[in-house]
Chain A
């Protein structure tokens, strides 16, 4: 998958949890959770959605590394490449 494809999956997952998100206004290099109001349950569901769609295992210890949309895409790309 290309980075753009992974980003599209991540955005679709995000929209399923927070339908009010204005995708065009999201900055890929800014903290995702400060741009989108996601509580801990939303965040868990977001990661779970990525896990289900991309069949990628995300250990809890890695949650803290995923801060911006860029981080999420890079992390998933690495995982997909390794798998």
Chain B
């Protein structure tokens, strides 16, 4: 019997609320399949399974708040037969707060204590699609009666509410910030506060920075983009991400985790990309195996990741597998950024705004596009000298952009 447990959904999250099962008892599941949607303070996450089997029992109930590591379902391995049933109730299931949680959502008055114990504070069962649509339409989810399983608000409910609302009400709804959004923003702020406080408390950061001329890289990019249809053009950010991934191959002490008092290097280079959300806060989901991907693919994946991050539909592997974070302030940002490391990671690379600056070279002065790259790293594992060499390697890679393409 395989126990399917709630995976960590990012180093700064220790619990989640089950929104939806994507599988039922008797379904065969494959590695990488999305089996459930779990809400966290930052986003609704599509939780993947990494084992194969047949769903035997769904233990976690919709609306139940689960700690990381809680057994959510039992699966039969290939060739395994189901154990004999214990009466009509099936396997012995621990009766927990989950049962009243379901009752709380239907319109009967449950015992007050059960509601307190069961309902996620300020959170209703809302499908991610419904949440997204409501946000787009400016609909207040509080005013919608859910007709989905256990009173969950479904996409259809939101569509019906959108169709039914009179015009002036629509205007009002758009202006008034929806309550669940406000509560999510507050929850996210708390999560960020906890992770960043822990980082600054536990990680002895050191910082190094390097100004990198980008004339060659941008000229190469411009020429490459002139050959590409609009939908396939590359952003400078993709070139920077690829260069970071390639440079990390020679500096493995920056790629991995600090766990149980020691450094655990990771072979895969999964870049956590800090993405700011329009409603405030940020999430840093991972671009997996970025070193091995051609720029075109990285660009597609980055576009998709940004879109899904903002729509609130990320996968669990993207939330928990980043081995380093890259923050790119982009062309609207400041000149340089010195970031706070996301524990248990051990480094963060920051890029400021790409801007034209005076550049001295060979006794002369020119004007070039320049970016300031910075490294924040964990001094328990690496030293400033190695950190500086990493940035020099990054600089050299960006002077040979054509080699970053494949």
**Chain A: residues with CB nearer than 8 A to chain B?**
18-20, 33, 37-41, 44-45, 47-48, 51, 57-61
Contacts and interface: CB of A to CB of B under 8 A. Distances in A.
Given A19-B135, A48-B231, A59-B226, A39 B332 contact: yes
Contact of A58 (B136, B226, B230): B230
Contacts of B33: none
Contacts of A20: 278-279
A37 B332 contact: yes
Contact of A41 (B225, B226, B279, B306): B306
Contacts of A39: 276, 330-332
A37 B279 CA distance: 11
B189 interface: no
Given A33-B332, A40-B331, A60-B226, A19 B278 contact: yes
Q: Which of B135, B225, B276, B278 has the most CB of A within 10 A?
A: B278
A60 B233 contact: yes
Nearest to A60: B225
B303 A41 contact: yes
Nearest to B231: A48
Minimum-distance CB pairs A-B, first 7: A60-B225, A39-B330, A51-B230, A40-B330, A41-B306, A40-B235, A40-B331
Contacts of A41: 235, 237, 302-303, 306
Contacts of B279: 20
Given A39-B332, A58-B230, A18 B235 contact: no
Nearest to A51: B230
Contacts of A38: 332
B136 A48 contact: no
A40 to B, nearest CB: 5
Nearest to B221: A60
B133 to A, nearest CB: 11
B236 interface: yes
B268 to A, nearest CB: 24
B222 interface: yes
Contacts of B225: 60
Nearest to B302: A41
Contacts of B230: 47-48, 51, 57-58
Given A19-B136, A48-B230, A57-B230, A40 B278 contact: no
Nearest to A39: B330
Interface of B: 135-136, 138, 222, 225-226, 230-231, 233, 235-237, 276, 278-279, 302-303, 306, 330-332
Contacts of B136: 19
A33 B230 CA distance: 20
Nearest to B228: A60
Contacts of A37: 278, 332
B278 A18 contact: yes
A61 B233 CA distance: 12
Contacts of A33: 332
Nearest to A19: B136
Given A19-B278, A37-B332, A44 B222 contact: no
Contacts of A44: 233, 235
A20 B310 CA distance: 13
A37 B329 CA distance: 12
Nearest to B135: A19
A72 B322 CA distance: 38
Contacts of B330: 39-40
A19 B225 CA distance: 29
Given A37-B278, A41-B237, 10 more contacts: A19-B136, A38-B332, A40-B236, A40-B330, A45-B303, A51-B231, A58-B230, A60-B222, A60-B225, A60-B233
Contacts of A61: 222, 226
Contacts of A40: 235-237, 330-331
A18 B278 CA distance: 7
28 contacts: A18-B278, A19-B136, A19-B138, A20-B278, A20-B279, A37-B278, A38-B332, A39-B276, A39-B330, A40-B235, A40-B236, A40-B237, A40-B331, A41-B235, A41-B302, A41-B306, A44-B233, A44-B235, A45-B303, A48-B231, A57-B230, A58-B230, A59-B226, A60-B222, A60-B225, A60-B226, A60-B233, A61-B226
Nearest to A59: B226
Contacts of B276: 39
Contacts of A19: 135-136, 138, 278
B328 to A, nearest CB: 9
